Structure formats: structure tokens, C-alpha cells
Amino acid sequence: MDQQDRKAAIRTRIGEQIEAVAKALCNGKLPVAEQRILRALAAQLAREDTSPEKK
């Protein structure tokens, strides 16, 4: 899996986590775990964006 594929996969997971946060909020729950995962995915995407692509 190259860097572009990894970034696309992370973006997909971020979208899923945003939906999980929204679902928790709609159910009247605090989405603490979902937000932590979302933060970790955002950090992972930032690392991918700042690291040079390996050839």
C-alpha cells in the first residue's frame, strides 16, 4: 500500500468516525471514545502528509 492509498484509507476511517460521533450525540451519549479515535486518525493523517513518500 503506497502513501496515497494509506491517506485515502485514513480519510475513509475519519469519515466513519465522524458518523460515529454524530450517532453517539444523537443517542444522547458522550462520544469520548469516538472522539479519541478521530483525533488519533487526524494525527496519523497529518504524519502521512508531512512525511516524504517512499519510492
Show the cell assigned to 37. 479515535
Grouping H, G, I as helix, E, B as strand and the rest as coil, residue 37 is helix
**Side chain identity, residue 16:** E
**pTM, two decimal places:** 0.85
Contact 45, 38 (CB under 8 A): no
pLDDT digit of tens for each residue in the chain (55 aa)? 799 999 999 999 999 999 999 999 999 999 999 999 999 999 999 999 898 776 5
Query: Distance between CA atoms of 17 and 9, rounded to whole angstroms?
Result: 12
Which residues touch 7 (CB under 8 Å, ≥6 apart)?
Answer: 45, 48, 49
User: How many C-beta atoms lie closer than 10 Å to residue 34's C-beta?
Assistant: 20
